[in-house]
Amino acid sequence: MSARRPEPVQQIKQRRDGVLNALLTGIPYIQFLDIRFDRRGDELTAILPFDEKVIGNTMLPAIHGGVTAAFLEVTAIVGLSWATLWDQMETGELNPDALTPDTLPKMPKTIDFTVDYLRAGLPRDAYARARVNRSGRRYASVHVEGWQDNRDRLFAQATGHFLMPSSNG
């Protein structure tokens, strides 16, 4: 059995970043909050840049609790989609050049989402990472951690359940 020559690294990066970008740019709400994703291999870190429009209480000032919830929910949905698409993407079955708003894979739907607010969201950038704890054919359970300056001092965490898109369209 002859070993296959590994794919050039640039080609792999282009394909992964291409799929990720296609997922993100297609969703207006992600653009509205200006959420970005930093990718290292298959690990995604969501970034919520601090901006006037995310403030709730102006006196503190603090990030609006609703924005924190939304940020963690976006991180969970994108993280879950990304994890489900990974295999198809790696085999080349999912080609980013062929992804248009119409052919984009469907996103999981949120069934419920519970946010645990640990500290006030400070007026600076926030980060979040999702962990898929269970991903079945129909349902998934995802946990998300959000932090600001220190990775170990979470300002919020959340758990959500999601309905997976049906595979036949």
Partner 1 sequence: MADDKVTLVRQFIEGMPHSRALDLRVEYLEDGVSEISMPYDPKLVGDPATGVIHGGAVSALMDTSGGAAVMSHPTDSLGTATLDLRIDYMRPATPGQRITARAECYHVTRSIAFVRAVATDEDRDRPVATATGAFTLERPKKSEDQV
Binding stretches for partner 1 (CB under 8 A): 26-29, 31-33, 52-58, 64-67, 69-71, 73-74, 101-102, 104, 106-107, 109-117, 120
Cβ neighbours of 4 (radius 10 Å): 6
* Nearest residue (CB) to partner 1, 8 versus 28: 28
User: Whole-number minimum distance, CB 12 to partner 1, in Å?
Assistant: 28
Q: Under a CB-based contact definition with an 8 Å cutoff, are residues 133 and 108 in contact?
A: no
Q: Under a CB-based contact definition with an 8 Å cutoff, are residues 158 and 73 in contact?
A: yes
Residue in 17, 29, 46, 28 with CA at minimum distance from that of residue 129: 46
* Nearest residue (CB) to partner 1, 12 versus 107: 107
User: Whole-number minimum distance, CB 122 to partner 1, in Å?
Assistant: 13
User: Whole-number minimum distance, CB 138 to partner 1, in Å?
Assistant: 16
* Nearest residue (CB) to partner 1, 12 versus 55: 55
Separation CA 4–CA 22 (nearest Å) = 29
In sequence order, the 6+-apart residues with CB closer than 8 A to the CB of 117 are: 65, 68, 155, 156
User: Whole-number minimum distance, CB 142 to partner 1, in Å?
Assistant: 13
* Nearest residue (CB) to partner 1, 86 versus 117: 117
